[in-house]
Amino acid sequence: MTESPNPANIHTAYKLAQERYAQLGVDTDAALKQLAQIPISLHCWQGDDVGGFEDPGRGLSGGIMATGNYPGKARNGDELRADLDMAYSLIPGTHRLNLHAIYGDSNTKLDRNDWQPHHFDRWIDWAKANNHGIDFNPTCFSHPMADSGFTLASLDPNVRDFWIEHCINSREIAGYIGKQLDNPCITNVWVPDGYKDTPVDRRAHRVLLKESLDTIFSAEITNPDYNLDAVECKLFGIGSESYVVGSHEFYMGYAVQNQTLLCLDAGHFHPTEVISDKISSALLYVPELLLHVSRGVRWDSDHVVTLTDELQAIMQEVVRGDYLQRVHIGLDFFDASINRVAAWSVGTRNAVRALLIALLEPVATMRELEQNGDFTARLVLQEALKGMPFGAVWDYYCWQQTVPLDTAFLDDIRAYEVAVLASR
Ligand code: RNT
Ligand code: ZN
């Protein structure tokens, strides 16, 4: 596991790969240049199993679940930032951070609606120093006001108002972060609202959710130009198996009507339904997409992203459709059964690797074959691409970006585990 090939060999392998790709009309240097410009938004919540810093004793609710008890999880902002620094150091490229509202820095105990923009100054300073853009999420779960299973779509106006206030605050914080970084921040609204068992009235909650969202998005915030609103649908959650208010149709309609961003989470559909096939349809009607790249195993289990066919298909769609300026790629998984820094590194490296594979396709040639009706040649080329030496290009990219190769980055994680995580 620990042997890294010497740089001369990485270079030689790259030159050979470059020649083979050139024969297909693909410029590997250009692909790597482009790849280095594409940020992935790393989700902070892999670092502490979606716990947050509001109240360490509070369990995770909202129908999502992190399983496992691997030692060393981050307990405060400093620890989380240190773990993130470690993860970013193992991932080629410059990437973003996706924060939840419960991850601000405060010396005193704060409740959900007490968080203010300045509580995120330490994240902002850190992001500035490390060139990270930041994205944001209201946290509409893991709180007594969400205990009924409903938030923005609750029948109780007090509950709705509480969460409306939280979402407006979140947009205010996101705009502040975006302004400070001079880089727009996405605020992604996801609420868990739904019923475990068959409801009688599917309509009432959807009417209320729409009303709540209208109130949230029409609220004036200080820096609207630095905030991008997104909404995230879901099929079901633990305890909301029979009905989720914010379904795909609900949010697709909402995003189209209001021209917000639409967030597509890979785990939020029927098990054989894929988000790769939704991108080119949704982008006809909404301005931009946010992706939550995740991996559901039998259910929306949020496993670490691996180099699956669907991951590759998602990145192919983004690249082939020329959507890189309109699709924001974020991650959403949380595995507490393995080293959390490794989880981030493996999942993000795979997302970047899948992007590279997509950037190494001779797209124009493939499209031409298809348009000429030569499906035989299309199939042959598609299959031939699976055997092309993208691994040599990837290794070279890692070397170029001064991060360890796939066979070596675990060493750094183990050293960090001993030096830092073990003492928590
Ligand atoms: C839940 C959604 C949502 C969360 C995060 C923590 O099913 O995917 O995106 O995972 O907000
Ligand atoms: Zn998600």
Which residue's CA is the closest to the ligand 1 atom numbered 3? 190
Q: What percent of the chain has pLDDT over 90?
A: 97
Q: To which residue do tokens 């820095």 refer? A: 105
pLDDT (0 to 100) of residue 1 = 57
Pick the catalytic residue from 288, 300, 335, 361. 300
pLDDT tens, 6-22? 889 999 999 999 999 99
Q: How confident is the model at residue 379 (pLDDT cuts 50, 70, 90)?
A: very high
**Amino acid identity for residue 423 in this structure:** S
User: Per the structure block, which two tokens stand in for 10?
Assistant: 């990485």
User: Per the structure block, which two tokens stand in for 19?
Assistant: 């020649």
pLDDT (0 to 100) of residue 57 = 85
pLDDT (0 to 100) of residue 2 = 57
CA of residue 292 to ligand 2 center, whole Å: 5
Residues lining ligand 1, judged by CB closer than 6 Å? 45, 50, 64, 137, 190, 232, 234, 265, 292, 300, 332
> Is 55 within 8 Å of 109 (Cβ atoms)?
yes
Q: What is the pTM of this model?
A: 0.97
**Is residue 300 flagged as an active site residue?**
yes
CA of residue 163 to ligand 1 center, whole Å: 16
**Is residue 292 flagged as an active site residue?**
yes
Question: Quick one: which of 234, 229, 270 has its CA closest to 249?
Answer: 234
Which atom of ligand 1 lies closest to the CA of 139? Answer: 11
**Is residue 232 flagged as an active site residue?**
yes
Which residue's CA is the closest to the ligand 1 atom numbered 11? 190
111: helix, coil or strand?
coil
CA of residue 190 to ligand 1 center, whole Å: 7
Q: To which residue do tokens 């868990």 refer? A: 192
Q: To which residue do tokens 């991850």 refer? A: 103
Residue 287 has pLDDT above 90, yes or no: yes
Which atom of ligand 1 lies closest to the CA of 137? Answer: 11
Residue 311 has pLDDT above 60, yes or no: yes
Q: What is the mean pLDDT of residues 127-153?
A: 98
Residue 205 has pLDDT above 90, yes or no: yes
pLDDT (0 to 100) of residue 169 = 98
> Is 424 within 8 Å of 79 (Cβ atoms)?
yes
CA distance 248 to 234: 6
CA of residue 148 to ligand 2 center, whole Å: 21
pLDDT tens, 165-192? 999 999 999 999 999 999 999 999 999 9
Which atom of ligand 1 lies closest to the CA of 50? Answer: 6
CA distance 313 to 68: 30
Q: To which residue do tokens 């459709």 refer? A: 321
Q: To which residue do tokens 């939020």 refer? A: 268
User: Which residues, including other chains, have CB under 8 Å from residue 353's CB and lie 6 or more apart?
Assistant: 307, 390, 394
**Which domains are seen in the chain, by residue range?**
38-361 (3.20.20.150)
In our burial notation (b when 16+ CB lie closer than 10 A, e otherwise), range 344-377 reads: bbbbbbbbbbbbbbbbbbbbeebeebeeeeeeee
Pick the catalytic residue from 49, 332, 335, 361. 332
Q: What is the mean pLDDT of the chain?
A: 97
**Is residue 125 flagged as an active site residue?**
no
Which residue's CA is the closest to the ligand 1 atom numbered 2? 190
Question: Quick one: which of 410, 233, 391 has its CA closest to 307?
Answer: 391
Start-to-end C-alpha separation, the chain: 27
CA of residue 26 to ligand 2 center, whole Å: 34
